[in-house]
Every structure is written in C-alpha cells, then in structure tokens.
Amino acid sequence: MTGDAGAEPNWLLVTVSTGQVASLRVYVWRQLRKLGALYLQQSVCLLPDRPDVAKTIARLVARVRDQGGQARALRVRLTDPQEHGALVDEQRADRDVEYAEVLERAPAFLAEIEMETTRGRATYAEVEESEADLERFEKWLAAIAARDYFDAPGGAAARAAVQRCRDVLADFETAALHADAARFEPPTPGPSPDVDNGATNKE
C-alpha cells in the first residue's frame, strides 16, 4: 500500500470515544495502529483517504457505535501543500522507525544460523525453527509495508535485510539436506590389503 507524496491531499479525520469498554478501546487502538494513524491528539487521528483504509475505518466506526461509543470519520482535503507534505514526512518517519527495528533484529537471525553451521548442527529441526523466525520477520515487514503509504526510504534496506535472511536460510537448508543424506550413505570401503603371492626372498 504505497503511494506518491504528490498524490491528492485527501485524508480521513477520525475521532473515537470508546467510553469505559476496555475491550473496545483495545480493538480501536490496535486497528488504528495497524493502519498507521497519525494522532493529532488523544482520540483524534488522520489517515490517507484510500479505499481500503476508508473501508476499514467504516467498519471501525460502526463497531464503536454498536457498542455504545462515539466515532466519526470525516473526509478532509488539505489546501496547503506544505501541510500535506509535513503529514507525508511524518508518515514516512514513523515507518522508517519501524523498518529500522527490522534491520536491528536481522543480524541476530543471521548470527544464529552461522553459529549452528559452525557447530555442525545443520539439521531439519534447526531449519524448521529458523523458518518460523523468518516467517515472523516476513509478516512483520508485510504489516509495515501495508501502512507505508508514501514509500518511506527505509523500506528498501529492510526488504534487502529480510531477503538476505531468506537466502542464508536457503543455504542452511541445503546444508541440512546434505548432512541428512550423508547419514544414510554406506561407508566408503578402505583399500584392500596387499596379498604377497610371490616367493619369499632368500638371502
């Protein structure tokens, strides 16, 4: 869900009051954070006015109202290009912070595989564990990218880091396959002992 900073400066202004319903408050918080909302103040935030975002916000507003809270989503168009640009920059900065967290975690993943390789522990169990870790990385990166509406510059490095993790894991998996196959290979026969069929030398 990426876009151009020069796109139409249309935004959704969302206001929410959940009252005393704790579960509803958590739901709203999670949904708005997942969308990458920019908070202007408590319970008031902005999001780019895009079809998928607007659809999610419409469901959120309906749920809040159904459970006794108050919510509203207003479409606003910014007439000041500088103000629009500032919001875009803020969105990008927020995503860059998240991309930086991905970059910060990736070296530990690579170091773990390197350590297991050095120890000769390229096994299916280790591959499976690393695959689960990589899947979490990929889901995390996908979630950030989904709310990266304006192509934050940190995205390229984060994607490259996760791709590096994929490549290293693929090599580790190949090593585990070869190690597993080697366990079932018959031992290589040693050289046959020399048999002296000749006569014994006499002094």
What pLDDT sits at residue 57?
Answer: 98
Do 140 and 98 reside in the same domain of the chain? yes
- Does some domain include residue 198? no
Over residues 6-25, mean pLDDT: 89
Conformation bin of residue 36: beta by default, left when phi > 0, alpha when psi is -120 to 50: left
Q: 199 pLDDT exceeds 70?
A: no
- What residues have CB less than 8 Å from 87, skipping those under 6 apart? 11, 38, 46, 78
What pLDDT sits at residue 20?
Answer: 86
- Does some domain include residue 24? yes
Q: 122 pLDDT exceeds 90?
A: no
Largest CA distance in the chain: 115
- Identify the domain boundary among 77, 107, 132: 77
**Number of domains the chain is built from:** 2
Over residues 57-64, mean pLDDT: 98
DSSP state string for 42-60: TTEEEEE--HHHHHHHHHH
- Identify the domain boundary among 77, 100, 118: 77
Over residues 77-96, mean pLDDT: 96
CA 143 to chain centre: 6
Enclosing domain of residue 59: 10-77
- Does some domain include residue 191? no
